[in-house]
Amino acid sequence: MSPDGVRIIVDWDNFPVGASVFVPVIDSDTLHEQLESVASIYKWTMETRYRIENFKLGVRIWRIL
């Protein structure tokens, strides 16, 4: 993923149900497009929430199914 032009590496092959990851991001629309691609490839359901964590704006992503 690279929503803001900075590559973010997530080990999707080892991302179990219930796991979450925080992605600091400004361009959330691009991130959502990239997440839809990942969810489509793996046939997963993901939930996202916009958050501020450790003084950084971003999106927390959970794998639901």
Please state the domain extents for the chain.
24-63
pLDDT at 3: 83
- pLDDT recorded at residue 6: 85
Q: What whole-number distance in Å separates Cα of residue 13 and Cα of residue 40?
A: 14
Please enumerate in sequence order all residues whose Cβ is within 8 A of that of 28, keeping only pairs 6 or more positions apart, or say none: 3, 50, 59
Work out the average pLDDT over 22-50. Answer: 92
> Residue 44's pLDDT band (boundaries 50, 70, 90)?
very high
Whether pLDDT at 51 is above 90: yes
Cross-sheet strand order for the sheet of 56-63 = 20-24, 56-63, 46-53
What tokens were used for 28? 């959330």
Rg (CA), the chain: 11
